[in-house]
């Protein structure tokens, strides 16, 4: 019984860490641009397809599937390329709506997500079908007699390092100071010789790259990837950010862990829970929005009119 509880706890923390990597992008972009980038989940889930495409291309060229350091470099390349794609999407589409009403930006990013999914579906070989995705870290660690898969430990460690690195970037570097300056007052930042457009591009790259790590981990955790996975993952990541409070980094983490705990608990306890887990997850989101619209860590903003 104890081992089962520990296993469920490990699953909760692992899944929560993956959701947090997606949710952090939503919170960072909303706190930075005041734009709900609803296609962030679709951008994040580009990374496993980019990695699979590179593996297939190298396998065809070399006659054998790449492994070891070559596979690691492919994953790093997929993360960087996803960050660049996020930056380009901002330059081509999203920046047009920085000063537009929120609803226009929302509709535009929803449409952008559909475009990305359909491009994957039609351009990737057999894009409509599920594709197996390898568990790129195998083996187990013995922790006080309890076997912990190295993959789960790596997910948790990388998530902690990503969150810690983002926190240090925002609070201990000149770039972070510029990002916070632009988020508080764009015009005042421009008067201090800070280029808001450059800060926007950097922020989109960071958010997309962190989301790409979450996309790779999610696909490896599920051992499969589909072109429409981004709908579920994006909605859960966005919901986690909403539960914690859009714009709050700690809130995104806490919201992700809460959703992961509920997700895992429902699947383990409720009969046929795997079919109903999203009902419980989004019921939690609705409840939070009813009783605390700003989220658990969000701040209510009062405007005088």
DSSP codes, the chain: -HHHHHHHHHHHHHHHHHHHHHHHHHHHHHHHHS---TTHHHHHTHHHHHHHHHHHHHHHHHSS---THHHHHHHHHHHHHHHHHHHHHHHHTGGGGTTS-HHHHHHHHHHHHHHHHHHHHHHSTTTTS-EE---SS--EEEETTEEEEHHHHHHHHHHHHHHHHHHHHHHHSHHHHHHHHHHH-HHHHHHTT--HHHHHHHHHHHHHHHHHHHHHHHHHHHTEE-TTHHHHHHHHHHHHHHHH-TT-HHHHHHHHHHHHHHHHHHHHHSTTHHHHHHHHHHHHHHHHHHH-TT-SS--------
pLDDT in tens, 60-88: 777 666 777 888 899 999 999 999 999 99
Q: Is the pLDDT of residue 20 over 70?
A: yes
0.85 exceeded by the pTM?
Answer: yes
Question: Residue 220 — very low, low, confident or very high, per pLDDT cuts 50/70/90?
Answer: very high
Q: Which residues pair with 225 in a beta bridge?
A: 131
pLDDT for res 118: 94
Q: What is the bridge-based pairing of β-strands 146-149 and 140-143?
A: antiparallel
Domain boundaries, the chain: 2-291
CATH second-level architecture of 2-291?
Orthogonal Bundle (1.10)
The pLDDT mean for the chain works out to: 88
Separation of alpha carbons 179 and 198, rounded Å: 10
pLDDT for res 305: 46
pLDDT in tens, 44-60: 999 999 999 998 888 77
Residue 229 and residue 270 in contact, taking contact as beta carbons nearer than 8 Å: no
Residues in CB range of 154: below 8 A, 6 or more apart: 137
Residue 302 and residue 276 in contact, taking contact as beta carbons nearer than 8 Å: no
Residue 251 and residue 298 in contact, taking contact as beta carbons nearer than 8 Å: yes
Q: Taking residues 218-228, report their average pLDDT.
A: 92
Q: Taking residues 149-160, report their average pLDDT.
A: 93
pLDDT in tens, 255-297: 999 999 999 888 888 888 788 888 999 999 999 989 988 888 8
């Amino acid at each position: 019984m104890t081992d089962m509880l520990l296993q469920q706890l490990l699953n909760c923390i692992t899944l929560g860490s993956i959701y947090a990597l997606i949710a952090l992008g939503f919170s960072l972009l909303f706190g930075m641009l005041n734009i709900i980038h609803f296609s962030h989940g679709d951008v994040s889930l580009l990374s496993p397809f980019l990695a699979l495409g590179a593996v297939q291309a190298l396998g065809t060229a070399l006659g054998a599937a790449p492994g070891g350091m070559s596979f690691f470099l492919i994953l790093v390349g997929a993360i960087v390329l996803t960050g660049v794609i996020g930056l380009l999407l901002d330059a081509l589409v999203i920046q047009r709506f920085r000063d537009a009403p929120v609803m226009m930006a929302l509709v535009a990013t929803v449409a952008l997500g559909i475009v990305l999914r359909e491009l994957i579906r039609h351009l990737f070989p057999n894009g409509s079908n599920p594709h197996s995705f390898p568990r790129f870290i195998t083996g187990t660690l013995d922790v006080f007699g309890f076997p912990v898969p190295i993959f789960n430990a790596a997910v948790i460690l990388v998530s902690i390092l990503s969150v810690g690195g983002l926190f240090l970037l925002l609070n201990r570097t000149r770039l972070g100071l510029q990002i916070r300056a632009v988020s508080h007052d764009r015009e005042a930042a421009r008067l201090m010789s800070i280029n808001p457009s450059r800060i926007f591009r950097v922020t989109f790259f960071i958010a997309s790259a962190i989301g790409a790590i979450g996309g790779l981990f999610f696909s490896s955790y599920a051992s499969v990837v589909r072109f429409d996975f981004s709908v579920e993952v994006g909605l859960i990541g966005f919901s986690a950010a909403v539960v914690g409070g859009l714009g709050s980094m700690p809130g995104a983490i806490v919201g992700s862990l809460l959703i992961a705990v509920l997700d895992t608990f429902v699947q383990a306890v409720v009969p046929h829970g795997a079919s109903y887990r999203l009902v419980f997850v989004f019921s939690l989101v609705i409840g939070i929005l009813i009783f605390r619209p700003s989220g658990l860590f969000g701040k209510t903003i009062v405007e005088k009119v």
